[in-house]
Amino acid sequence: MSAINVFQQNPGAEAKAQSPLHHADLASLVGKGRKNAGVTLREKKFLGHLTLRGDGHDPAFAAGVHKALGLELPVALTVVANNEMSLQWMGPDEWLLIVPGGQEFAVEQKLRAALEGLHIQVVNVSGGQSLLELRGPNVREVLMKSTSYDVHPNNFPVGKAVGTVFAKSQLVIRRTAEDTWELVIRRSFADYWWLWLQDASAEYGLSIEA
Amino acid sequence: MSQTYRLASGGRIDRSKVLNFTFNGKTYQGYAGDSLAAALLANGVDIVGRSFKYSRPRGIIAAGTEEPNAILQIGSSEATQIPNVRATQQALYAGLVATSTNGWPNVNNDVMGILGKVGGSMMPPGFYYKTFMYPKSFWMTYEKYIRKAAGLGRAPLQNDPDSYDYMNQHCDVLIVGAGPAGLAAALAAARSGARVILADEQEEFGGSLLDSRETLDGKPAAEWVSSIVKELESLPEVTLLPRATVNGYHDHNFLTIHERLTDHLGDRAPIGQVRHRVHRVRAGRVVLAAGAHERPLVYGNNDVPGNMLAGAVSTYVRRYGVAPGRKLVLSTNNDHAYRAALDWHDAGLQVVAIADARHNPRGSLVEEARAKGIRILTSSAVVEAKGSKHVTGARVAAIDVQAHKVTSPGETLECDLIATSGGYSPIVHLASHLGGRPVWREDILGFVPGDAPQKRVCVGGIHGIYALGDVIADGFEGGVRAATEAGFKATAGTLPKTVARKEEATVALFQVPHDKGTKGPKQFVDQQNDVTAAGIELATREGFESVEHVKRYTALGFGTDQGKLGNINGLAIAARSIGITIPEMGTTMFRPNYTPVTFGAVAGRHCGHLFEPVRFTALHGWHVKNGAEFEDVGQWKRPWYFPKAGEDIHAAVARECKAVRDSVGLLDASTLGKIDIQGPDAREFLNRIYSNAWTKLDVGKARYGLMCKEDGMVFDDGVTACVGDNHFYMTTTTGGAARVLQWLELYHQTEWPEMKVYFTSVTDHWATMTLSGPNSRKLLSALTDDIDLDKDAFPFMTWKEGTVGGVPARVFRISFTGELSYEVNVQANYAMGVLEKIIEAGKQYNLTPYGTETMHVLRAEKGFIIVGQDTDGSMNPDDLNMSWCVGRNKPFSWIGLRGMNREDCLRDNRKQLVGLKPVDPTQWLPEGAQLVFDPKQPIPMDMVGHVTSSYAANSLGYSFAMGVVKGGLKRMGERVFSPQADGSVIEAEIVSSVFFDPKGERQNV
């Protein structure tokens, strides 16, 4: 056996799969919200999520990551993206890589090959978290109700990403476009976030997208 | 006849919108734009409550937040009851229902009035301390009576239907107060491009300008207000918050604002709207433009309805078009208050006289009054109001302010309204919340904010600037300064022109002398708490000389009042009584909140289903569908047991236990903490974190481990598997998951940063289904074709990788029941599909889902501990009879080694974990019950331990327990006794804690 156990955990597209918000049956809510809703929510489900840890100060690490992903290591509090792939700084030695669903095993192998000999960790966390995309003119107000972090554009430009307190728990907030934000949520908290976001956006109107 | 005291014209009210409302059950009418107080006064309602100690009738005194008497209960339905609403701050709406909170049972004809007169003399200051404390056991009886009589209002008995929330705000400049100073400051700061929040507690911005006689640029001041508000509204970085009270000033310029979004619309928020919102503001700079409160003079019977602040009279006349009387007498010591008389006169009402305490006032406003023919009595004051339920006259007499003496018998002037002004008190509450003591300024006869380390600027009345032109200039300059300090470039602006006036100094008069001294009529200082001048003097005579003692002894400034009207007068009276100056007396502490905040606003959205996050596993839907009862474990909902029709918990658990022992059961173990550990030093790291050794654990194997804190006490446990040479998969307790990950990171980052190892939580990534029981192998074999389940190929305490139900899985052969068990881990998105296949395949084996209760029973039968139930942070591995799990010969030290070898940890009579078998097998030892060796000894008995886990329903057929007993491991076979509260005694035998399959034959098959 090798030093690290890496294995294909994804059974493929045929297997029955349930996202963290499966029980909310978001598909059935599409088109039922207020017209011109201030907030539009979409679950970006079944993506490949990998936690990457390593020494960001080591040029060999940055070069290896770039070789494997074609992405520069993002600096503190930012997220970089390349087509369907995004890489986010999570801490001084930690990054979150999100890839299209089903690619996580291949990408992990590619990363491990490119970083051979370095002390790193790659962990598949795809089952444990999900992305919620929030779009619309009132997303900022919903975020202001939820987090004490300053989400004003002066302090939170497009491309910024922070892990922070949100209501009574924590999650990651990413700003991906002018009026588009993403929340990286943990599976077990998904229902809490779903209830919280419905409540916080009620006064602005919430619509759901598949 | 309705609204008899409404003036024919004037006021910022909409006379086309008539609003009906009720007060104490009677219906009245007012207009849109009225405050509830204004509408009550328009209808001639003069008694709004009864004082809590003396039960005297009380009327409206003020027009704003400083009102001490008109504190009402609002709400048309049970669910929408709000206590302690100041009528002066409540906007009138159609259908408003208000009742007096004070004056049980009736404000006009109060039974307690008679009691009160007796009670009054029975209730001197210090009454609570002196009387009700003795005898102590009577306090409960007294309290009920006092609470009811004190009229604190009442909470609703039904759930509030409305929604309340928080909003987190960040700004460069927060301006508190939107009067002339605040508006000017906001304008200056906002024009610089800074993020500005302007908050004001009133219905609309403008503050004193809303009822001012003053002009700005030759136009009514209110027009200037609307032009400024319009400009502010057009600036994108400006947030305007009317109906929003800045209630607390906390560290690092964190301020809380209580915004009432819909209180002016009804007692229920319109659908979809939030009723109150608490803004939690982090401000770069704070501009305090809170202004000042007018101070009443303290004279005899000054609490009889019909006594009112001079400024409030102007507000009612000019802002609401209401005359709170017909014939006015004004008692003042300053120029400003003359405005009330002039406004009254301009409204066509009769000013009987102005009593001015000064010898020869000649200020511009004084001369204006003289020119209008108003009678002015100098060196005089109202010494006593006449009338019982309403003012019928005012006795005005000449006084000597210095000597504190009445120098003439005076005359009684017939009137129905006495306006009073004793000068102005800057509103220093917010400026003092962080402990900065206010500083006395003799020139303005008021306390102003002292120096403070906060990044804040004071403008206008709060630091003693009162002339309108100066106030606006000061506000603008303060706004410029705040924006500049916050890093913005502020530009100069033109300020509106004001009318210059000659103004003379205020004379220092607080308590008006009375010819009978303290034997004269009561002179109230704090009407909300019924504190009189005589009461304060009594307090000082009894030796209470510190301002904080005087406050507590008399209740001056207690409760919702926060000393807004009475504070300075009380200090002045105490100071004179002791013979010291006011600054020597000093002020009491000011604390948040400035005004009462509803509980709804405090709770925000953190109530009902959003009270706390609830965590669910990927299999939760199945549990719900199959009738699980749930148990809270940390934030998780875990299936507790799965009752079938007609089963109670005992029956269900007994059935589930039997199914596991006889065939196979299924447990959702997804909530266990799971940590992926990688790196060349991972193995050595485990050696140091766990109490046992990990050096020789081969790839493919798993081991149980104990974690201790530095003191050697157990704090978590779990099974960790070696999945690769440099790769481990750690499990923790459900409740300990986050704690353990933090513990690993803490030690890695602070103690052993040189070790090459990383940790990542995978708790949510893997869903875990435990198959446990003699048929688990047969069941699993139907679900996998690539895992060799042979007992030698896949022995106990090893793991394999393969597919289960077509999904890639890691399967661990570990057991928490003592049975043959497999823990199947799959990526959580696919867990439901795998579960369904397991259930289907399990039908032939009577596969039985079980919950945490059965899990607890089965593990206890095996003597397996639960950290946090059988341990309490004071038990080391030896105490738990788990010395086998301590690697005493590990090459490097490890956490807990030194701690557990302290002398105290090596005593042989420490409490040790043992099995307890009730002598009567049907008796159940309550968990937590204390144990003794001799039940016949006198109380207090020598307690030797307690029960930690105890189960009546189980697979053994008799009740059993685990517990700790002093030296218990050497007392096998001895008896302990558990005396119960009902006098009975349960006798138990000390036995091994392993009740079931002591040789472990069932899990090793």
Among B276, B263, B274, CA closest to B90: B263
Q: Check B170 against A152: CB less than 8 A apart.
A: yes
A residues 56-75 lying closer than 8 A (beta carbon) to B: none
**Which two structure tokens, joined as six digits, stand for B909?**
């009579």
Q: How far is CA A138 from CA A164, A203, B232, B351, in A?
A: 20, 10, 21, 55
Among B10, B33, B9, B36, CA closest to B21: B36
Interface residue A118 vs chain B (CB under 8 A) = no
Q: Which amino acid is at B450?
A: G
The residues, ordered by sequence, that sit 6+ positions from B113 with a Cβ below 8 Å of its Cβ are B50, B55, B56
The full set of domain ranges for chain A reads 24-46+129-210, 47-125
Superfamily the domain A24-46+129-210 falls into: Probable tRNA modification gtpase trme; domain 1 (3.30.1360.120)
Query: Closest approach of chain A CAs to the CA of B613, in angstroms?
Result: 6
Q: What pLDDT score was predicted for residue B131?
A: 45
Q: How many CB pairs under 8 A join A and B?
A: 169
Q: Check B764 against A125: CB less than 8 A apart.
A: yes
Q: How far is CA B880 from CA B713, B857, B893, B933, B961, in A?
A: 10, 18, 21, 20, 14
Q: Check A141 against B833: CB less than 8 A apart.
A: no
What does the alpha-carbon distance between residue B818 and residue B863 come to, in Å, rounded to a whole number? 10
Contact assessment for residue B530 and residue B391, using Cβ atoms and an 8 Å cutoff: no
Query: Closest approach of chain A CAs to the CA of B834, in angstroms?
Result: 8
Q: Check A10 against B827: CB less than 8 A apart.
A: yes
List the single residue in B with minimal CA-CA distance to A198: B610
B residues 149-178 lying closer than 8 A (beta carbon) to A: 163, 165-170
Query: Closest approach of chain B CAs to the CA of A198, in angstroms?
Result: 11
Interface residue A88 vs chain B (CB under 8 A) = no
**Which two structure tokens, joined as six digits, stand for A118?**
């370095």
Q: How far is CA B638 from CA A188, A190, A192, B726, in A?
A: 12, 16, 16, 33
What does the alpha-carbon distance between residue B122 and residue B86 come to, in Å, rounded to a whole number? 29
What does the alpha-carbon distance between residue B135 and residue B14 come to, in Å, rounded to a whole number? 58
Cβ-based contacts of B614 with chain A (< 8 Å): 191-192
Please say if the pLDDT value at position A192 is more than 70: yes
Cβ-based contacts of A4 with chain B (< 8 Å): 678, 724-727
What does the alpha-carbon distance between residue B270 and residue B950 come to, in Å, rounded to a whole number? 53
Q: What pLDDT score was predicted for residue B154?
A: 85
Interface residue A13 vs chain B (CB under 8 A) = no
Token pair 């501009």 is found at: B287
B residues 189-228 lying closer than 8 A (beta carbon) to A: 195
Within 10 Å of residue B362's Cβ, how many Cβ atoms?
11
Q: Check B680 against A154: CB less than 8 A apart.
A: no
Tell me the helix, strand and coil percentages in chain A, rounded to 5.
Answer: 25, 35, 40
Q: What pLDDT score was predicted for residue B108?
A: 61
Q: Check B613 against A17: CB less than 8 A apart.
A: no
Interface residue B612 vs chain A (CB under 8 A) = yes
Q: Which amino acid is at B762?
A: V
Among B266, B301, B268, B71, CA closest to B158: B268
Token pair 């400006």 is found at: B238
A residues 19-48 lying closer than 8 A (beta carbon) to B: 19-20, 22-23, 46
Query: Closest approach of chain B CAs to the CA of A190, in angstroms?
Result: 8
Pairing relationship of beta strands B219-220 and B376-377 according to DSSP bridges: unpaired
Among B627, B599, B597, B630, CA closest to B616: B630
Ramachandran angles phi, psi of A196, nearest 5°: -65, -45
Q: Which amino acid is at B933?
A: F
Q: Check B280 against A148: CB less than 8 A apart.
A: yes
Give the rounded distance of the alpha carbon of B643 from its chain centre.
40
Cβ-based contacts of A3 with chain B (< 8 Å): 680, 724-727
Q: Check A128 against B762: CB less than 8 A apart.
A: yes
The residues, ordered by sequence, that sit 6+ positions from B118 with a Cβ below 8 Å of its Cβ are none
Interface residue B723 vs chain A (CB under 8 A) = yes
Domain covering A47-125 in this structure, CATH number: 3.30.70.1520
Interface residue A126 vs chain B (CB under 8 A) = yes
pLDDT 10s digits, A145-179: 999 999 999 999 999 999 999 999 999 999 999 99
What does the alpha-carbon distance between residue B528 and residue B246 come to, in Å, rounded to a whole number? 22
What does the alpha-carbon distance between residue B996 and residue B957 come to, in Å, rounded to a whole number? 11
Interface residue B487 vs chain A (CB under 8 A) = no
What does the alpha-carbon distance between residue B160 and residue B78 come to, in Å, rounded to a whole number? 9
For chain A, give the mean pLDDT.
96
Choose from A121, A143, A184 for mutation: most chain B CBs within 10 A. A121
Q: Give the residue ranges of DSSP H helices in B372-496.
A: 429-432, 468-485
Q: What pLDDT score was predicted for residue B350?
A: 98
Query: Closest approach of chain A CAs to the CA of B369, in angstroms?
Result: 53
Q: What pLDDT score was predicted for residue B114?
A: 44
pLDDT 10s digits, A64-108: 999 999 999 999 999 999 888 999 999 999 999 999 999 999 999
What does the alpha-carbon distance between residue B416 and residue B326 come to, in Å, rounded to a whole number? 6
Interface residue A192 vs chain B (CB under 8 A) = yes
Among B113, B146, B110, B116, CA closest to B24: B110
Q: How far is CA B82 from CA B66, B77, B473, B564, B966, in A?
A: 19, 10, 40, 22, 56
Instruction: Give B591's DSSP letter.
Output: -
Q: Which of B272, B699, B765 sits opposite A126 (nearest CB)?
A: B765
Interface residue A83 vs chain B (CB under 8 A) = no
Among B545, B496, B560, CA closest to B52: B560
Interface residue B745 vs chain A (CB under 8 A) = no
Q: What pLDDT score was predicted for residue B976?
A: 98
Among B261, B260, B249, CA closest to B287: B249
pLDDT 10s digits, B128-151: 555 444 445 555 555 555 555 455
Among B865, B973, B969, B989, CA closest to B907: B969
Interface residue A128 vs chain B (CB under 8 A) = yes
Pairing relationship of beta strands B96-100 and B163-176 according to DSSP bridges: unpaired
Domains of chain B, CATH where assigned:
1-124+134-158 (3.10.20.440), 163-289+426-485 (3.50.50.60), 295-420+506-518 (3.50.50.60), 523-594 (1.10.10.1100), 672-762 (3.30.70.1400), 905-991 (2.40.30.110)
Interface residue B483 vs chain A (CB under 8 A) = no
What does the alpha-carbon distance between residue B384 and residue B299 come to, in Å, rounded to a whole number? 6
Interface residue A17 vs chain B (CB under 8 A) = yes
Q: What pLDDT score was predicted for residue B589?
A: 83
What does the alpha-carbon distance between residue A16 and residue B179 come to, in Å, rounded to a whole number? 64
pLDDT 10s digits, B385-443: 999 999 999 999 999 999 999 999 999 999 999 999 999 999 999 999 998 889 999 99
Q: What pLDDT score was predicted for residue B145?
A: 52
Interface residue A127 vs chain B (CB under 8 A) = yes
Q: What pLDDT score was predicted for residue B115?
A: 42
Q: Check B620 against A23: CB less than 8 A apart.
A: yes
Cβ-based contacts of B812 with chain A (< 8 Å): none
Burial environment of residue B818 by CB neighbours within 10 A (0 to 12, 13 to 18, 19 or more): buried
Q: Check A125 against B679: CB less than 8 A apart.
A: no
Q: What pLDDT score was predicted for residue B617?
A: 98
Q: Check A202 against B272: CB less than 8 A apart.
A: yes
Instruction: Give A104's DSSP letter.
Output: H
Topology match between the domains A24-46+129-210 and A47-125: no
Pairing relationship of beta strands B393-400 and B405-406 according to DSSP bridges: antiparallel
What does the alpha-carbon distance between residue B863 and residue B176 come to, in Å, rounded to a whole number? 64
pLDDT 10s digits, B615-639: 999 999 999 999 999 999 999 999 9
Q: What pLDDT score was predicted for residue B102?
A: 64
Interface residue B613 vs chain A (CB under 8 A) = yes
Query: Closest approach of chain A CAs to the CA of B946, in angstroms?
Result: 36
Q: Which of A15, A23, A53 sits opposite B621 (nearest CB)?
A: A23
pLDDT 10s digits, A17-41: 999 999 999 999 999 988 899 999 9
Q: Check B764 against A128: CB less than 8 A apart.
A: yes
Facing residues of B605 across strands? none
Cβ-based contacts of B676 with chain A (< 8 Å): 121, 123
Among B854, B791, B868, B857, CA closest to B822: B791
Q: Which residues of chain B have pLDDT under 70?
A: 1, 102-152
The residues, ordered by sequence, that sit 6+ positions from B750 with a Cβ below 8 Å of its Cβ are none
What does the alpha-carbon distance between residue B911 and residue B969 come to, in Å, rounded to a whole number? 9
Cβ-based contacts of A190 with chain B (< 8 Å): 616
A135 against B596, higher pLDDT: A135
The residues, ordered by sequence, that sit 6+ positions from A34 with a Cβ below 8 Å of its Cβ are A205, A206, A207
Contact assessment for residue B58 and residue B102, using Cβ atoms and an 8 Å cutoff: yes
List the single residue in B with minimal CA-CA distance to A24: B621
What does the alpha-carbon distance between residue B573 and residue A146 come to, in Å, rounded to a whole number? 49
Q: How far is CA B194 from CA B173, B176, B482, B486, in A?
A: 7, 16, 10, 8
